Each structure stands twice: as structure tokens, then as C-alpha cells.
A = this chain, B = another copy of it.
Amino acid sequence: MKSKRPRKKRLHKASNIYDVARHARVSVFTVSAVVNKNGNVSPTLRRRVEAAVQKLNYRPNLLARGLVMRQTHTIGIVVRDIVNPFFPLLVRGAEDAAQKAGYSVLLCNSDDQREKEEQYLELLLSKRVDGILLNKAPGNLSASRRNLLAESRVPVVSLMRTSPDLKGDAVITDDEKGAFEAVSHLARVGHRQIALVSGPLSVSNGKARWRGFRKALQASGLQYEPDLVIEGDYHIDSGYRAGLFLLPRRPDAVFVANYLMTVGLMKAADEIGLRCPEDFGLASFDDYPWLSCFRPRLTTVELPKYEIGATAVQILLERISGKRIRRSLVKLMPELHVRESCGFMLRKRDSKEDSLTPQEKPYAASAAPELQ
């Protein structure tokens, strides 16, 4: 009863804890205790409070709660672009894990631009998120932002890419191994001249995939030919340009470091008039369930996207609750899926060994022991 004057605008206000307390003829403490199910409240008062809550449609204001508790139960997730088909499943994994723990997700698209990324990070800090999932754009954070981040003590978990200026936890995949296996498979199938469309070498996983490629050539006794290596940027267009450059040189096969560049490369092949797998073998990263019925089926290194997101949130939550102390770097394993784009089927057919239907064979092959 301390409000001296009536509200001016009769702004439509949701009822608050005081309204409920008044209605139930109890104190705000009691209401709070009932709503948060802590402390012991006598059945009588509890019933009165519950009735009032019901009657007034009371819902606690999470802003106010966050302010006093210093916890928003919100995490921010910064990805390059949710439209890039790699991210939806990852984000979904993160959202599911977050939701189960009572957290919500603030989604940010950085477009791989440092400036945008930094602005989002600042915004997230200002919104007082409890933690951040970050798929880092190339380059380092500015010193001031890094400082701000460190000082805020808000935990950050890196996704897919590590960065020297991010000294927190990270969830990545063993991309070197994935690339190694894919390229080894291309070699095993009989391809000798294998070209590479790599990701940006300035990015940790771009570099890792390149290393895997190189080591596989070596292990297969093939020559690394710089002329057959093009550095792309993970976007469609760079794959297209790489295709226009590489395919006319007629390599036996191409290994492309991600899916979008594969799309670009195949567009180039289309224009040039080359077909996969008849004219060149192809293996790449990332598989998508909705591709399974289109041709050619791609031989790919599949990454556990959902798990990446879910695991990252898991780690973040442990960090938030103070359980986790030591820095952890989780490396998830990729899985080679052999299908027809690599030319596997053709070779088999040539040698008259094939009798299975096209859709069964690749899966059988992908479970072959040598791929572990």
C-alpha cells in the first residue's frame, strides 16, 4: 500500500508476486516458496497461494528473477549461418539438451564475419546469458572483446573450430581422420590422381582435413600435386570455381572438404559436361538424410552433428554449475559412408563382382571392417 498515486496510463500489467500475495492474504515470501517449491509452506497457505496464482494467471517474471539470481537460464549460440545445412541439426542437438535442463537458446548468425560475431558476443554478454556456444569466424577476437569475455566469466564452448584466442572448452570432430579415410578409400577404389578442394586453411578444421588428405596420399603411395589442390572457403561458389579449374584437368577423383563446395563443384561438372561417378570419383564431408534418394549418392564423411551440439551444451552446463574445472576438448569420431559417387560401384561392376542392388551395396560397404 505504498503507491502514492494511481498508475497513469493504465498500462496493461501482468500480475506480480505482490498481487498474488495480497490476493492470497500471505506475504511474498510464501508465494515465492510455493512457486519455487522450496521451503515448507503449510497446506492451507499453499492452497490459497495456488488458487491465487491460478486466478490471477500469475507467471514469475524471469527477467526479475534473472536479475537477482544472476542467472538467466539462457545460452547464446553463434553459428556462421543457420541456412548452411550443416548447422540445423547441430543447433537442434544443442536446443534439445538445453531445453531438457531448463535453458533456452538465443540464436545468432555471424556469416563468418568477425565484426558481426563480436557484436553478437557483446550483446549476449549484455543480455547476461549463462554461457555461449561459438562456431568461430576466421581470425582472432579483438583484444578488448577477448578481455571483456574473459572478465565476464561467461563460459564459452567452441564448436568445430578451435582458435588460439579461445582458451575454453571445445567440441570438435576428428576431421583429419575423416579426410584420411575418405581419401584412402578413393585410392583403394583405384583412383590415382586425386584432387582436393580444401576448406580455408586458416581455420582449424580446414587445415585438419587438408592434413588428412595429404597423409592419405602418402599412405597410399600417391603423389601430392599442388596443382590439384584448391583452397576454398566452404561456400558454394568457391566449390564452383574450384570445379571449373580442376575438372578440366581430368583428375580421377576429387575430395571436397564440405558439402556446400560439393554442390558448387557438381554445378561446374554439369556445365563442363562431366558426370559423377562416370567421369570422376567424388568424396566429401557431411551427409544429409534428405539426399538419400537423389543421384549421385555421395560418398561422405559423416559428422555427428546432433551430438556435437548436445555435447557442447552438456559441457557448458557443467561449466556453469561449476562442476567442470579442467579444460576439456572433446573430439567426436566421423564415419565414412561409402556410396556411389566415389566410383566404388563402377569399379565393382567393371570387375563383375557386383550383384547387390545399388541401394544396399554402399551401406554394406560402409560397415566393412577396414573402415572400422
A residues adjacent to B (C-beta < 8 A):
11-12, 14, 57, 59-64, 66-67, 70, 72, 74, 81-83, 85, 87-89, 91-92, 95-96, 99, 104-109, 122-123, 125-128, 147-148, 151-153, 236, 259-260, 263, 266-267, 269-271, 289-296, 359
Contacts and interface: CB of A to CB of B under 8 A. Distances in A.
Number of copies: 2
B126 A59 contact: yes
Contacts of A151: 14, 57
A75 B108 CA distance: 13
A83 B91 CA distance: 9
Contacts of A153: 12
Contacts of A67: 61, 63-64, 67
B60 A63 contact: no
A346 B77 CA distance: 47
Contacts of A66: 63
A270 B294 contact: no
Most-contacted residue by chain B among A147, A151, A289, A290 (CB, 10 A) = A290
Nearest to A96: B109
Nearest to A151: B57
Given A14-B151, A83-B89, A128-B61, A290 B270 contact: no
